[in-house]
């Protein structure tokens, strides 16, 4: 039951972000902010995530150590986040740019309660061997919402923004409260077993963090910058809403099997192998000459991203344990936000865009580098290998 609630919580949280991005240009203009500043607002959001995701993870660890539970605090901050989000379409037309930006900052900062803290909740009350499963369930909710994003972008064009903002806020608040209640029930019956995992040396942790950053940059550039032009070379613009979700279909197909792979063969091994396979798929996506070639490549690329990301978060839970799950997962979420910030800076012109040839091959290069970073960790740190070896 907590796993299903975790997936639902992340699905609804991702939907709030999608709704926010869809309506942000119109809401900003209603608040008196020129639409040219919208990319800067999105970059501001990611900069806030970089700081607050890590901070929320550290705070969740501290709350869990002090009180034994984190769900109630997480739900309380989520209610504040939902209130700020709900207020955006109501405040924007009347209160001006200052109030609108304040609500945006408040929502961005408090929404960090829905990223690292749920990992702390699950790490403290689930069997340690189920770390890959927890990561997979979490990411499955995000993947389903991401697959729906292109359809929502068209379906909500003529809808009053107050309707989806209210629906998403209320549903997310209810899911957060339900997960907090589930923690209380599970805490009565589940005893956390002792951890035998030896902490990774700082250099190894830094290597894993660097690998996640390169994986995330490759994903951001591939999906958000390169995929649409690649499809448009081969199909009409009207086909994009049907084609863009193909990557996320591959992601959702692979994300749950990835939990078994990480547990059976070791998260580091699986992350490295998926990176090399995914890099080949990204190269094929960039240079495919037909839809028949690019669609399977997109499916494989999405599956590889699911496997790499699931392995990364499973490893974070394994290395962090019950005491530091928030810190380690918070670092990963901050790195994902940093990669999104890089992509937004490139798309907005704040960072010079490479020439098309280099841009097409950047995701391939980033994933090869990420896999080369993790590959040496196989032999150096066998205690982060297969769950059954411990």
**pLDDT at res. 195:** 45
**pLDDT at res. 157:** 77
Q: State percent of the chain over pLDDT 90.
A: 43
Q: Residue 81 belongs to what domain range?
A: 2-191+199-389
**pLDDT at res. 5:** 80
Distance of CA 131 to the CA centre of its chain: 17
**pLDDT at res. 52:** 92
**pLDDT at res. 63:** 83
* pLDDT of 99 above 50: yes
CATH number at residue 36: 1.20.1250.20
Binned at pLDDT 50, 70 and 90, residue 190 comes out as very low
Work out the burial of residue 34: count CB atoms within 10 Å of its CB; fewer than 13 is exposed, 13-18 middle, 19 or more buried: exposed
**pLDDT at res. 127:** 63
Q: Rounded to whole angstroms, how far apart are CA atoms 225 and 244?
A: 12
Q: Rounded to whole angstroms, how far apart are CA atoms 285 and 300?
A: 10
Secondary structure element (H or E) that encloses residue 370, with its range: helix 356-374
- Poorest-confidence range of 43-52, 264-273, 350-359? 350-359
Q: Rounded to whole angstroms, how far apart are CA atoms 374 and 136?
A: 20
The residue with greater pLDDT, 306 or 376, is 306
Total domains in the chain come to 1
* pLDDT of 198 above 60: no
**pLDDT at res. 257:** 92
Residue range 75-87: average pLDDT? 91
The residue with greater pLDDT, 45 or 182, is 45
Which range, 170-179, 244-253, 379-388, has the best average confidence (pLDDT)?
244-253
Here the tokens at position 203 are 């250099």
**pLDDT at res. 324:** 73
What are the distances in angstroms from CA 58 to CA 53, 73, 112, 285?
9, 13, 11, 38
* Tens-place pLDDT, residues 148-185: 888 887 788 788 889 999 999 999 999 888 887 777 66
* pLDDT of 290 above 50: yes
Binned at pLDDT 50, 70 and 90, residue 217 comes out as very high
Residue range 123-133: average pLDDT? 68
CA distance from start to end of the chain: 27
Q: Which of 47, 78, 43, 45 is nearest to 60 (CA)?
A: 78
Binned at pLDDT 50, 70 and 90, residue 349 comes out as confident
* pLDDT of 192 above 50: no
Are the C-beta atoms of residues 216 and 343 closer than 8 Å to each other? no
Q: Rounded to whole angstroms, how far apart are CA atoms 280 and 301?
A: 8
Q: Which of 268, 124, 288, 126 is nearest to 200 (CA)?
A: 268
Share the mean pLDDT of the chain: 84
Structure pTM? 0.87
Q: Rounded to whole angstroms, how far apart are CA atoms 33 and 23?
A: 13
């Amino acid at each position: 039951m907590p796993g299903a609630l975790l997936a639902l919580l992340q699905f609804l949280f991702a939907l709030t972000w999608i709704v926010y991005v869809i309506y942000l240009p119109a809401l900003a203009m209603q608040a008196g902010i020129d639409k040219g500043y919208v990319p800067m607002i999105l970059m501001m959001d990611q900069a806030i995530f970089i700081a607050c995701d890590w901070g929320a993870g550290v705070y969740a660890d501290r709350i869990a150590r002090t009180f034994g539970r984190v769900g109630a605090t997480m739900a309380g901050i989520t209610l504040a986040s939902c209130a700020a989000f709900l207020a955006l379409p109501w405040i924007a037309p009347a209160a001006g740019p200052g109030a609108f930006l304040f609500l945006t900052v408040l929502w961005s900062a408090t929404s960090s309660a829905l990223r690292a803290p749920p990992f702390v909740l699950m790490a403290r009350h689930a069997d340690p061997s189920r770390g890959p499963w927890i990561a997979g369930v979490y990411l499955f909710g995000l993947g389903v919402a991401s697959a729906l994003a292109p359809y929502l972008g068209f379906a909500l064009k003529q809808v009053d923004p107050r309707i989806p903002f209210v629906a998403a806020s209320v549903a997310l608040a209810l899911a957060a409260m339900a997960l907090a209640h589930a923690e209380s029930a599970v805490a009565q019956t589940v005893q956390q077993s002792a951890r035998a995992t030896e902490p990774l040396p700082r250099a190894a942790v830094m290597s894993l963090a660097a690998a996640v950053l390169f994986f995330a940059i490759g994903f951001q550039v591939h999906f958000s910058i390169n995929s649409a032009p690649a499809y448009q070379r081969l199909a009409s613009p009207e086909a994009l809403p049907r084609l863009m979700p193909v990557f996320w279909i591959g992601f959702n197909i692979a994300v749950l099997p990835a939990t078994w792979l990480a547990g059976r063969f070791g998260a580091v091994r699986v992350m490295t192998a998926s990176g090399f396979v995914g890099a080949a798929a990204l190269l094929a996506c960039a240079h495919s000459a037909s839809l028949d070639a690019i669609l399977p490549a997109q499916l494989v690329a999405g599956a590889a991203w699911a496997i790499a990301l699931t392995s990364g978060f499973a490893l974070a839970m394994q290395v962090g344990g019950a005491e530091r799950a928030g810190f380690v997962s918070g670092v990963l979420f901050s790195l994902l936000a940093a990669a999104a910030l890089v992509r937004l800076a490139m798309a907005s012109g704040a960072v010079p865009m490479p020439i098309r040839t280099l841009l097409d091959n950047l995701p391939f290069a980033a994933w090869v580098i990420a896999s080369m970073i993790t590959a040496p960790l196989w032999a150096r740190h066998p205690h982060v290998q297969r769950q059954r070896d411990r």
